[in-house]
Structures are given as C-alpha cells and as structure tokens.
Structure 1
Amino acid sequence: MKRLWRALTTLLRGIGSALRWLRRLALTAITLVVVLALFGQLNRPAPSLPDSAVLALAPSGQLVDQLSYIDPFGELLNPTAAPAETLLPELIAVIDHAANNPAITAVVLDTQQLQSADMAKILELGDALLRFRASGKPIVATADSYDSYQYLLASHADRIFMHHFGAVEISSMQAQRSYFADLLERLQIDFHLFRAGEFKDAVEPLTRSGMSASSRQQLQRLVDQRWQLYSDRISTNRNLPRGAVDDLVANYADKLRASGGDFARLAEQSGLVDSLSDRSQRRTLIADWLRAQSAGASPRGEPEQVDSASYAAWLRRNDQQRSAPATVIVYTAAGEILDGQQSAGQIGGDSSAEQLQELVKQQLRAEQPTALVVRIDSPGGSAFASEVVREQLQFARDHGMAVVVSMGSTAASGGYWIATGADYLVAQPATLTGSIGVFGLVPTINRGLESLGVNFEQVSSSPAAAAYHPQQPLSEAAAAIFQSSVDGLYQRFLQHVSDARQLSLSQTEQLAGGQVWSGGDALELGLVDRLGGLDQAIDAAAEIAGFSDYQVTHYQPQLTPWEQFVTTLNQQLSAFTARSELAALLSPLLDGAALPGTAQSLGQLRDSFNDPQARYLLCTLCP
C-alpha cells in the first residue's frame, strides 16, 4: 500500500511539474509574440504602390457603411466571432482615386466572397465602377457562380468570367413575413399595439395571422420598384434588349431545358457572361484580355495586383499629409436606433449625441470652416433616442455648420426623424425612406401565467390610477394613455417633417401614415432634395458652406488606450494566429462565457425595444 501511495505521489508531482513547465512555456511564447508584434508595429514600412498594377477588388461578407464594433481582445482569441464586413465608403474612395491614378491600369472584381448587400449599396458601388470605366480603364468580373446581387455588381464590368460549372441565379424580387399571432394566442401572450398611421405595420407579425391589405399594397409597390431598378440596371450594363431579364426569369425552366440543363451555357447564351472556363484557364484568359485592352503594353503573364486594403492604407497615409483651409466631416449613423450608449453598428441615443456634440465643439475650438455630412443607414428604433440625435444636427446648424444627410440603404422612420434636423437630404434611387409613423407595443402575460397557476395581485395608493404591469390585464385607462402618447408623438413627427421640408401639415399627412417610399418617390414627393450617393452629399455640403478647397475626413470614435493597444496587437498577431492556430487553441476558453444561440437571440430581441417610453419609430419592411 505504501508503494502504491509513493507511486501515486510521484505521478502527481510529475504532472504538477509538467503543468508548471507548460505554463512557463506558454507565458514565454505569449511574451515573445507581444514583443515581436510591438516591434513590427514600430518598424512597419510605409505603404506603397507598384509603378503599374491591376486593382484587385474582392468585397467579402456584407457591404456596410460602418464596421460593427468587435471587442479587439475577443477577436484576437476567436477571429471567427467577428462578422465579415467590407466598408463601402472606403471601397468607393479607392475606386475613385484609382480611376485617376496612372499606376492603376484596370480593375479585377472578384464577387465570390460577397455574402449580402442591399441593392442601394450595390448600385452605389456600381456607380463608382462606372466612373472608373469612364476614365478609359477596363474592368473584369470573375467568380465561380453569381447570386442575384453578386451578378448585379458584376454587371458593371466590361467583361464577365465564370466557371463552366457555375450559374447566374437571377430570381424575381420577393418580400416575406412570418406571422405569430396564432402562436402567441396558444401561449396566451397578448401584445397590445398602439399606432399612428394606417401603413405603420412594423409589429403586424405579432398581432395578426396574415398580411393586412395596406401592408400587402405597400410591399407590392416596393417590390415592383426594386425589381424595375434591378432589371433596368442589368439590361443597361449588358446592352440587353428591354425586357430580356424579365423574359429570362419568367421562362427560366424552359430555357434551361433547351440548353440541356447547363446553367453556365444558359447564362452565356442569355448574354449574362462572356467567358466560361475552369479556374486555371480563367486566370490566363483574364490576363490575356487585359493585355489586349492595353494594346500589348502590359508584359506577358498575370499582371501585378494591389488589393483594395493596401490601396486604402496608402491613400490614408497620403490624405494625412494633405491640408486644406476647410473640412467636410462625414459622420456615420448606421444600425438600429437604441437608447443609451451603443457601439459602432448601432445608433445609441446617448453615444451618438455625445459624439456629434463633441465633434461640433472641437471644430468650433479649432476655428476651421467645417461642414457636416451625416450618413444614415437605419430603419429607426427608439423614438427618444432618435430625437436626442436629431437635436445634435440642429445644434450643429445653430453654430453655423452646413448639415447634409446622405441616405444609405435605409433612412426610414426614426432614421428619417433624425434627417429632419439637416439642411439638405440626398437619397439613392433604391433607398427606403419615409415610414413617417409611430407605434407603441405593450405585452401582457397574465393569461398564460394564470393557466400555469400563477396569480398576481397588487395594492395601490390610488386604485383608479392607470398603472401598467405585464402580469395584469391592460386597463382601458392605461390603453388610452398609451394611445394618446403615440398620437402626440405622431403629431410632433408631422410637424418636424412639415418644418424641415416646407410642406403644409395636410401635405405631410398625405405622405405619412407609415408609408415607405423609394428614394425616387421621395424626390418626387419633396421628402429629399436630390438623388445621389455619399460623394454627391459631400459636394452638396461643400457647396452650401461655400467651400472651394476642402478636405474630407471620416469621423472615427475614439478608442480607450486599452482598445488602441489591443487593436494594434491584434493587427500584428492576425497572421501569426492563422499560422499557429492559436485562436483554435484558445477559443474553447471563451465558450463557457458564451450564451447559447437561442438565449442570445432572445437577448438581442429584448434589447431592440428599449425606448424608455415604449414608443418606436421603426420600419420593419426596411433591411
């Protein structure tokens, strides 16, 4: 027994020694990596461009106006947790600069990794590609296959290459909704809806079993308009006869059968692509075609390429060295509008208002002529937060700044409420805007709890008071208070729009009611001043402010010293972690702290409705 005990003790000591050794080794390795990363940061070479190159564009993930905030330390340990996003304004700036840069001879556009993008963003990026083509330089698009939006972007190229096993998936525009009223009735959960505006159907899925007539009418109008924009742009870009895209979609099955079930051949026969090949042949074909466009001036073989991220870094360094007597600042407000402090990717009533106010005060202290462009890409959200942010646009105007709003994919409901604080509004044809309406949503769960044997009682100093509690039925007095609050806010919304757009209240009421408008409709109705993208909004701000020589800067929220350090460290370690699989080794340490997927989704849903007065300016038709 003593021998067994001694053996066990020896084994445990050996394990302890091994663990201490491994811990020291791990700490030494981490220290070495940190030192090397800091050394690399201090000795980072200045970005540069080759004398002659092709600009390689490969947007990945989702096209966004503002990158979502990701905790840099968490991203370092678990890179897969960060959403794949491509910053649209940066990509457009790169394309526009490259159009006039003699070192860039062409663009190669790879859409394979583009996962999702709204039509407005695709068209805005496409307009930049058309400006590049107008400079006399060619663009080629390449991918194994194209979905609807990947192809819409690729159609802006001079020549489109695809794998011979690929396909172009073009389908009609659709809008779907699921309705949960029957499920909620089975669970005996009641949602009490208070709204102002016949078309304000944001919460119909919670209160109805199917689509209302007004909602169906509105959705059909928007779907038809977006399909027209889509098919017209493709037909124009590809020089197809009018109606050719509609004919292809309507008769796709018959046309596919006629092509022998070959998706790639059908795409080529329909004029959607120009060349079919395997991957290795495709690279050679692209290089040969580009050399032919340059009249043989390019050397044989694949041309040297510079990716958009490297070009953007070079461009930022050059911009830092430039100064001008005036500045146009671009502030991005993207995401749902929530009360309180929020990170990038959402609009926080407190955080966005504080940033805008500090931005204005800094420019006033610097005594430099400044104009402000606010890029809004939001379906709305909290009414209180929307007003707090709108007040800061008015604050900037009160201090002599020209304020212009550039609408992204969406600037509806609360997004449009914010926009009423500006001097001038610029929307894109595919922007969804308007949705001038208000709703309040109040749940009660007393029936469900009573069915489970849970009863609720309370005493009050004023029994007749219209108190609300989710565990008791909603009284008529409380319901009247909620509806009056919503009606009052709606009247304020109408007044804001009337004052900002110089419309009578009766004219504003005809455009309101929760109706969602495309950018083209909004221009005709007087809800915006012109059509265009961010560049046109910047030009408008400079013109209103009277600037002839100015620089453009994009506002970036200040990071804490810790965030700055870890972000820098993360950039330096990204290649190392990919090679050493450090992230894969460390990510299990984070799993215990992660919420299960369902609970996390429920938490996000709960956080979306955080207005202190339960009143919302939200468009759920809008992406």
Structure 2
Amino acid sequence: MNQPPRRGPIARFFIGLWDAMNFTRRLIFNLVFFVLLILFLAILGAGDRVEPLLDRTTLVIAPDGALVEQYSVDPATRALTRAMGEKSGEVQLRDLLRALDTAATDERIERVVLQLDKLGGGGMASRREVAAAVARLRESGKQVLAFSEMMGQQQYLIAAQANEVYLDPMGGLMLEGLGRYRQYYREGLQDKLGVDVHLFKVGEYKSAAEPFVLDAASPESKQADLYWMNDLWNRYLADVGKARGIAPATIAADIDQLPAGIAEVNGDLAQYALQHKLVDALKTRGQLDEMLVERGVADFDAEGGFRQVSLDGYLAHLDGALKMAADPRPQVAVVVAAGSITGGEQPPGTIGGESTSALLRQARDDNNVKAVVLRVDSPGGEVFASEQIRREVVALQDAGKPVVVSMGDLAASGGYWISMDADRIYADPSTITGSIGIFGMIPTIPRALDKIGVNTDGVGTTRFAGAFNITRELDPAVGQVIQSVIEKGYRDFIGKVAGAREQPVAKIDEVARGRVWSGAQAKARGLVDELGGIRPAIADAAKRAELGEPGDYAVRYVEKAASPFEQFFTGFAQSRIGANLLGDSALARELVAKALPQTRADMALLEGAITPVAGVPVKALAYCFCSLQ
C-alpha cells in the first residue's frame, strides 16, 4: 500500500494557511447570508405591526417613564426594549404634545383617557405645556377623562385639565407644595476625610457649589430660592384652581390644614380628594372600563373591553402618515439642547460643545431650513462649551436665518449663555432661568493623604510649577490667579448679555450675581422677551423668515442621524417577526440592561470640572443646581 508523500514544514504551513483562509471566507459568507436573511424577514414583517385606526376609538395615554425633551438612548436600543415588552423609561415631550394636538382634530378619536400615575420627571414648565395641550383638546369638544390609582401633584397639574377626574377608592392624591432640599458635604469632606474644597465665584447668589463648602444653605440662597419657588407655586395653584373651579386661596388653606382634613376622613386620602373637589368621583379601574364600554365601542379583544389605541400606537399611525411622501415645504428646524453642557461630542440628553454646535451648523447649511428654534432645557455647565454653541447661534443669524429660543423647564447659567443672542427668547412663566454667574472649584487633599501616612514633596523650576497639583496645599497666590480667571469670566458673561439684550452692563449686573428667576420674573427684568411654550416660538421663527401660515411650512427636529445598522435594527425590532424573536431573548435583555443610561449624579459635573485642561488652571463653570424634585 502506497503511503502519501510526506510534506515538509513549509508546505504544511501554506496548506494550513489556505485552509484557514477558506474557513474564514465561508464564515464571512455565512454571516452575510444570515444578516441578509434577517433583513428579508424584517422587510416581510415590517408594516404589519400597526393595527388599523377605526372610528370612535378611545386614545389611552398612559406614559411610563420620565418626561424628557430628548431621548437619551439610541433608536436601536429603544426599539429592542419595546420589542421585549419593556418600557424605555422616557417619554418625549414633543410626542405627547403631538398626540394631544392631533387628537383634537382627528375624527377617528372619540375621547382621550389620561392615566398619568407612571409619568415622572419633567419640570413645571413642561408639565404646564402638556396641561395646556389637554385644555386645547378639551376645548375642541373632545371628551377627556383622567383616571388615577396613586397620583402626585406633578401629574395632577395635567390631569386637572380633564373634563372628568376619577380616583381609585383605595388610591391617594395629596397636594403638598414645592420643596427644594440638598445635601451638604463640608463636614464630611473637610472634617472627616480631610479634603479641602476651595471655591472661587462671582455673585453672592451663585449657590451651585455651596454644598461642598458649607453645612447648610446660605441666607442669600434661601432668599433667592424662595422668591422664584413661591412664584411657581402660586401659578400652580392658579392653574389647578381655574381648571377645577376652586379658589387658589382655598387650595392653599386646605394644605395648611392638611392634618385636620385627613383626620376628618379617618385617613382616607381618596375621600379627602373627593370632598375637596380635587376629583369628580371614586371608581375602580374595572368600573372605569365599564363606563368606557358604554360610552364608546365594545371590543372584547382589547384590554378593558373597549375600542382603543395606545399612545405608542397612535404615534405609529402619525409617523406612518409622515413617511408617505417627502415634504417639499420650507422648514423651521428645532435643535434640542437638553442636559448639562460639557465639552466635545456628547450623546443625546447631554449638550456637547462640539456635538450641539454641529447640529446648528447642519441647520445653517441646509437650504431647506429657513429658521431655527433652539429648545433649551439645561442647568448650564462649562463656559467654553457654552460659548462654542453661542457662536453657532450668531453664525446662523449672520447667514440670514433667524433663531428663536424656547426655554423649557430650565435654562439657567450656561443654559442662558447659549440663549442670550437669539432674535427672541420665549419662556414659560414657570421656567427656571437666570443664574448669570461663574464659579470654579478645586479640592486639595494633603490632609486626607496625611491620615494614611502619605506625603507629597519635590522641586520645581518656578514657584508655580506643580502649584495646581491637588495633593499639595493651595498657595494663596494660586487662588488669586483662579479668582482673576473667574472674575474675567463673569465680566464676559454679563458683557455678552448686555450686548445681546441691548442694556447697560450695570443693569444686567443688578439682575445677575448668580440669582435665579422664574420665567415671569425674568421677563419683568428684561432677560426674556415673551412668555409661552414651543408652539409660539416656532410660529415666531416662521414669521421672521416670512414662511406664511402654519400649514405653509414644516417643522423638523435636527438630531444626530442614526447609523445604517441602527436604522436596520430599529426596523427589524419594530417588525412582528423581530419582536417575536427578541421578546424571549435572555441575551437581548442583558444587552439592554447594559445599554440603558445610568442616572448621572450632580457630582459628575463637578468631577469633570476638576479634570485638568491644558493651559487652564481651573474650568470656569456656569452651572445652576436649581431644578425642583
């Protein structure tokens, strides 16, 4: 029997290499085939997820998540989350407003039911915008019902606008007022850990960094906070009182007498709400469903037994109609600036000096865009990043495109910096704005190191070499340098505001000093031009660009485009087949858990603030810890 010739080591190497290449080629081809197969199945399954919208349908709006200006997760992750039957944790304000306003004229929608117990987040201004949309819906003749099992005063501001408000007999609703309390770390940092925090600021009301250097709020901080908070609370009482036909003074008196009032009904919060006319009747969810069946159209295959469409389902219908054809009309572009302002490229939900500037440049370079609305919901952040964005606003104006700012819940400090040069600034009366001031801070930790027996020593060629090393004591001369930088930043801030608002610098300084104002208070002091939400801001921008009536132009949100893979995966996850494949995937669930955004503590901004930057001794910050919980 003949033996095959024995190959040498070189031959074996090349044969092995060839086999490896063949295996790799087959693997790649198989992977490509698998991806194309999934794409084909997604195309087959796409489009059959949206059920037809019939006449006499009840729109059930039951958002589950935080009310936000802009999603903080990418479309693919959101689609994957929905495909698995889980909630994304966020509800876009624009989507909620769009559904309510469209339902007002949609003949297929007979009534709207609001179930707002799980709607969190959002500030007073955004909730007032939703409440105004509910009021418009009610005034259009559509029946609006609100139902709750457990509802707080944040959700009640919206629910109060309904024709009928129902509460579960075992539920609760209690108005308590506005509060703002923070933790103060001086004792823990300095006395316990040995960390000395050095604060440099301009403006006695600039209180953002007080928790790191004080044990309690300063008198100036309490004075300023209570001033704007009382304005917001009085407006809340007026809004609820008008909707429910109750004098605001009566609501305020009931809160003052809350212990006695609750005792009178033997601790029954539902009966308390009913007796004080906060709700119209007490009903269980089952009783509500029976009523909706009687008033609407029975559908025993639907949850509750009545013909209905969910908020997501209704939005899918609206989005499907928009995709039918390209809109040839001129556009008003909306650029959302939501979150803290930091340098560089940042994801949605955070404002990046470069990424947000890029969106504004995109609107400037787009010939179809004739005007821009900058929607601001930000406590501020880094001064340089704020200035980058402000320059793009000016560049848009130089290109002949008007810019109108619409302030959301919060447009303070750096949030005001990026707003001040707009052709017109709109704010809700309950927007939190102002806080025109600058601060910087640097910790030093030699005492902390000493506690564990670590010391710092060395030499430098000048007295300032290594002077900003946080392991060394802070030289008073270094503190003088930092204070000079902060004071220059404040002069820049109020100087730019004075130029943009066409007012003397001294007058701006009077209303600046880091003080926070409500939108109504800011307008009275010349920091805001008009009171109103995003709708009048868009109309103003269109008017400045001479675009005609609302039907003559389109409104488009300019956002970072999804990657081809994100577009593919989003379509696949939204298809029926994709949802079925992903719905029971333990791996997919794990991926989503890792991809969901983590809550960013306020400390994160300050941690970034002390990160060294070439040529800068300490970052100048225009930031405001002034949101309500």
1:396 aligns with 2:396: yes
- The alignment status of 1:494 with 2:499, answered yes or no, reads no
Superposition map of 1:61-80 within 5 A: 61-70=65-74, 72=76, 76=80
User: 1:201-280 maps to which residues of 2 (within 5 A)?
Assistant: 201-280=207-286
1:510 paired residue number = 510
Question: Do the aligned partners of 2:342 and 2:353 also contact (CA within 8 Å) in 1?
Answer: yes
Sequence identity (%): 33
The equivalent position to 1:90 in structure 2, one of 68, 91, 95, is 95
Using the alignment, how far apart are the partners of 1:117 and 1:603 within structure 2? 20
Task: Check conservation: 2:79, 2:574, Cα contact below 8 A.
Answer: no
User: Which string of whole-angstrom CA distances, capped at 9 and with x for unpartnered residues, describes residues 533-565 of structure 1?
Assistant: 110100110111111021111112112223323
Q: Output aligned runs, 1:332-343, within 5 Å.
A: 332-343=336-347
Q: Is the 8 A contact 2:381 2:605 kept in 1?
A: no
Superimposed CA distance per residue, residues 49-105 of structure 1 (whole angstroms, 9 cap, x where no aligned partner): 323322221122111110112484698489799850111112111211221222222
Matched, 1:459 2:465: no
Equivalent residue letter for 2:352: G
Query: Is the Cα contact below 8 Å between 1:107 and 1:140 reproduced in 2?
Result: yes
Q: Which residue of 1 aligns with 2:445?
A: 445
Indicate if the aligned counterparts of 1:413 and 1:433 stay in contact, CA closer than 8 A.
yes
How far apart, in 1, do the equivalents of 2:563 and 2:96 lie?
A: 27
SS at match of 2:468: coil
Greater mean deviation of Cα atoms: 190-199 or 449-458: 449-458
The alignment status of 1:132 with 2:137, answered yes or no, reads: yes
Look up the SS of the partner of 1:442 in the other structure: strand
Cα distance in 2 for residues equivalent to 1:41 and 1:608: 49
Q: Displacement of 1:325 after TM fit?
A: 4.0
User: 2: distance between equivalents of 1:590 and 1:307?
Assistant: 23
Q: Read off the aligned partner of 1:336 and give its amino acid letter.
A: S
Residues 440-465 of structure 1: per-residue CA shift (max 9 Å, x gap): 01111111112211111232222355
Q: 1:257–1:37: structure 2 CA closer, same or farther, 3 Å change rule?
A: farther
Quick check: 323-332 or 87-96, which moved more? 323-332
What is aligned with 1:155? 160
Partner AA of 2:572 in structure 1 = L
Q: Which amino acid aligns with 2:230?
A: D
Q: Distance in 2 between matches of 1:334 and 1:594?
A: 20
Aligned residue for 2:173, secondary structure, equals: coil
User: Where does structure 1 lack aligned partners over 5 or more consecutive residues?
Assistant: 1-26, 292-300
Query: 1:36 deviation in Å?
Result: 7.2
Amino acid of the structure 1 residue aligned with 2:361: Q
Match of 1:416 in 2: 416
Compute the TM-score of the two structures, normalised by the length of structure 1: 0.86
Contact 2:69–2:92 at 8 Å: present in 1 too?
A: yes
Matched residue, 1:546: 546
Contact 2:134 2:161 in 1 (8 A): yes
Tell me which residue corresponds to 2:5: none
5+ residue gaps, structure 2: 1-30, 298-303
In the comparison of the two structures, how many residue pairs are matched? Answer: 580
* Equivalent position of 1:313 in the other structure: 316
When residues 81 and 199 of structure 1 are mapped into structure 2, their CA distance, relative to the original with a 3 A threshold, is farther
| Bigger mean CA deviation after superposition, 406-415 or 225-234 | 225-234
Cα RMSD (Å): 3.0
Q: Secondary structure at the match of 2:204?
A: coil
User: What secondary structure is seen at the aligned counterpart in 2 of 1:128?
Assistant: helix
The equivalent of 2:426 in structure 1 is 426
Asked if structure 1 preserves the Cα contact closer than 8 Å seen for 2:402 and 2:544, the reply is yes
Amino acid corresponding to residue 241 of structure 1 in structure 2:
A
Letter in 2 for 1:550: Y
Determine which of 162, 169, 173 is the counterpart of 1:164: 169
Q: Distance in 1 between matches of 2:59 and 2:544?
A: 34
- Residues 535 and 310 (structure 1), Cα distance of their counterparts in 2 relative to 1, 3 Å cut: same
Q: How many angstroms apart in 1 are the aligned matches of 2:104 and 2:569?
A: 35
SS in 2 for 1:156: coil
Structure 1 counterpart of 2:485: 485
Counterpart amino acid of residue 475 in structure 1: D
Cα distance in 1, alignment partners of residues 310 and 79 from structure 2: 23
Aligned equivalents of 1:161 and 1:611: distance in 2?
Answer: 55
Residue 512 of structure 1, CA deviation: 0.3
Shift of 1:475: 1.0
Equivalent position amino acid for 2:334 in 1: V
Aligned partners of 1:189 and 1:443 also within 8 Å: yes
Secondary structure, counterpart of 1:419 in structure 2 = coil
Instruction: Between 544-553 and 428-437, report the one with greater CA deviation.
Output: 544-553
Q: Secondary structure at the match of 2:181?
A: coil
Contact 2:389–2:418 (8 Å) recurs in 1: yes
In 1, are the aligned partners of 2:341 and 2:351 still within 8 Å (CA)?
Answer: yes
Q: How far has the Cα of 1:408 moved from its partner?
A: 0.4
